Structure 1
Amino acid sequence: MERAITIQYGSIELRATLHYPAAAGESKCCEGGQRPLIVICHGFIGSRIGVDRLFVGASRKFAEAGYMVLRFDYAGCGESTGEYGENGLDSMIDQTRVVLDYALGIDYVDANRVILLGHSLGGAAALLTAALDRRVKTLVMWSAVAHPFNDILRIVGQQSYDDAVRYGSSDHMGYTLRPAFFESLSAQQPFAQIRKFTGDVFLAHGTSDQTIPADYCSLYQKLFWMRSYGQCDMELIFQADHTYSTGESKRELYDKTLHWLTYNEKRKREWHNWEI
């Protein structure tokens, strides 16, 4: 079952979709009626649907396996109100935490199994949120941005940034980007926050990604492995582009992510039993 919801973020209404676990999947990952939660963070000027329905397919796949899934539109994107480029990455982190507040208010969500999944700029936002918010226990990053300012500048072009600085705003595909947006990208450094997150991490990236370099994936893994706590596993999706636009790429991404989530749950249970 799926339900459209609205989450209040100050005066802004964040539109979201909540996916309830399928009955057939509950026995796979749910204990005592409690469901693990996945919150999906979309990328730059994206939406909760995703390019070629990337997040719709993912949410339904995960819900079939027994997960509660919440995907939402950041302010100014999709159906949400507000202005996207007004506040930038800092606001995205705040919005993600407000969405977590809402999701954890659902009485049958397991607060000990909260997974934040982010794609592209949403991957960086997910990491930065997890570094601040201990409620996030597991992190999944698809084709994640590593250098927010440089990566987004490469997408929008130098002229767009120059116009924003010179005139107070610039237009990119109908979105108004202001200097504060670019300043927030420059101020946030995901690599510097990695050690603050002690949970387990799954990384995926397409080898044919022309938007965000696939090399970021292995670099992220090396830095995550330098932490004192937490596991990190990585999968490269052969010939997949930035948005996993082919059916085969999507299926492989969904299957490998779900396989890792299932494996990680089993690993944690076995470790807990060993400790006892």
Structure 2
Amino acid sequence: MEHHITIQSGNIELAATLHYPVFTENETPDRSATARTPIVIIAHGFVGTRIGVDRLFVMSAREFARHGYMVLRFDFGGCGESTGDYGAGGLDAMIDQTRSVIDYALAIDCVDPQRVVLLGHSLGGAVALLTAAKDKRVKTLVMWSSVAYPFNDIVGITGKKVYEQAVQFGSSDYLGYALQPVFFESLTRHQPFEQLRKFNGDVLLVHGTADEVIPVDYCFLYQKLFWLRSQGQCDKEVIFQADHTYSGGQAKEQLIQKTRDWLLYIDKRKNEWNDWTI
């Protein structure tokens, strides 16, 4: 079951889709049913939408829901069906919008506040990490092909000319999005590598070897830095020949399956620990 909803974040109305766990008669949940349900919140990438390239987020959400997870995917302000202008408040606004989505998710009676998973792709991966670093309600983090150096990575996508025009004229067009200097300035202020130690939960990193947008090397560097934390485990999956958006059936299937299996493993491990008493 899926519902299209609207989530208020300041003066922005965020378009979102909520997926409820659904099991068919011939399917058995991979974990025992509990009183409360874990939730996966999906944050899309730069000028993306909650649908994803080739319906990546739709397919992922439905697969996670089929295995017992509630899933909430949303459009950042100015993207998809949401109101507002993209990037108008920079990464700070995106973090605030993500936290508004968390507010909404935790207001749902059946959601388990101890099993909130934040999943982000590309720039959404960096936003997810930055959000998790300051919002302790995020318990688990999944980062797909994540940006590591926001300013350099995004300017590498838009081209330096777009950035220079934004600074010179106060706005610059990129694929129909009017990017303002405040957006680029915010990219320089936020450094995911400096913030990641503030998050103590478990992390899954996934990247494709054929990613020509965001280097696969970031995945290995992220893991090394996550390993330096005193708490929380960090696993990575490198998918051979997968591009930035995991286009192609095999790459997409591997991405979704590996993420699903990891989430179920983490969930099972936490349940087993909860069974122990001291």
TM range (shorter): over 0.9
Q: How much has 1:31 moved relative to structure 2?
A: 4.1
Deviations 1:47-66 (A, max 9, x none): 00001101000000000001
RMSD after superposition: 1.3
Q: How much has 1:263 moved relative to structure 2?
A: 1.1
Cα distance in 2 for partners of 1:60, 1:186 equals 35
Q: How much has 1:33 moved relative to structure 2?
A: 2.6
5 Å matches for 1:225-244? 225-244=227-246
Q: How much has 1:87 moved relative to structure 2?
A: 1.2
Q: Is the 8 Å Cα contact of residues 17 and 72 (structure 1) preserved in structure 2?
A: yes
Q: What residue number does 1:17 align with?
A: 17
Q: Is the 8 Å Cα contact of residues 151 and 212 (structure 1) preserved in structure 2?
A: yes
- 1:271 matched to 2:273? The reply is yes
5 Å matches for 1:115-194? 115-194=117-196
SS at match of 1:240: coil
Cα distance in 2 for partners of 1:136, 1:163 equals 37
Deviations 1:68-104 (A, max 9, x none): 0000000000000100021111110000000000011
> What number of residue pairs does the alignment pair up?
276
- 1:222 matched to 2:221? The reply is no
Cα distance in 2 for partners of 1:52, 1:152 equals 21
Q: How much has 1:267 moved relative to structure 2?
A: 2.0
TM-score (norm 1): 0.97
SS at match of 1:209: coil
Q: Residues 193, 30 of structure 1: CA spacing in aligned structure 2 closer, same or farther, 3 A cutoff?
A: farther
Q: How much has 1:30 moved relative to structure 2?
A: 5.7
Cα distance in 1 for partners of 2:232, 2:184 equals 32
SS at match of 1:182: helix
Cα distance in 2 for partners of 1:252, 1:154 equals 27
TM-score (norm 2): 0.97
Q: How much has 1:108 moved relative to structure 2?
A: 0.2
Q: Is the 8 Å Cα contact of residues 26 and 66 (structure 1) preserved in structure 2?
A: no
Q: Residues 26, 101 of structure 1: CA spacing in aligned structure 2 closer, same or farther, 3 A cutoff?
A: farther
Q: What residue number does 1:6 align with?
A: 6
Cα distance in 1 for partners of 2:180, 2:126 equals 20
Moved more, 22-31 or 4-13: 22-31
Deviations 1:104-151 (A, max 9, x none): 100000111000000000000000000000000000000000000000
SS at match of 1:111: strand
Q: Residues 51, 42 of structure 1: CA spacing in aligned structure 2 closer, same or farther, 3 A cutoff?
A: same
Q: How much has 1:28 moved relative to structure 2?
A: 3.2
Paired residue type of 1:22: V
Q: Is the 8 Å Cα contact of residues 204 and 235 (structure 1) preserved in structure 2?
A: yes
Q: How much has 1:275 moved relative to structure 2?
A: 5.4
Structure 1 runs of 4+ aligned residues shifted over 4 Å read 24-27
Cα distance in 2 for partners of 1:235, 1:28 equals 21
Paired residue type of 1:233: D
Cα distance in 2 for partners of 1:262, 1:86 equals 37
Q: How much has 1:10 moved relative to structure 2?
A: 1.7
Deviations 1:4-33 (A, max 9, x none): 000011221100000000135784346433
Q: Residues 71, 239 of structure 1: CA spacing in aligned structure 2 closer, same or farther, 3 A cutoff?
A: same
SS at match of 1:80: coil
Paired residue type of 1:195: R
Paired residue type of 2:13: E
SS at match of 1:126: helix
Cα distance in 2 for partners of 1:22, 1:34 equals 14
Q: Is the 8 Å Cα contact of residues 165 and 172 (structure 2) preserved in structure 1?
A: yes
- Unmatched 5+ residue regions in structure 1? none
- 1:106 matched to 2:108? The reply is yes
Q: How much has 1:184 moved relative to structure 2?
A: 0.5
- Unmatched 5+ residue regions in structure 2? none
SS at match of 2:79: coil
SS at match of 2:30: helix
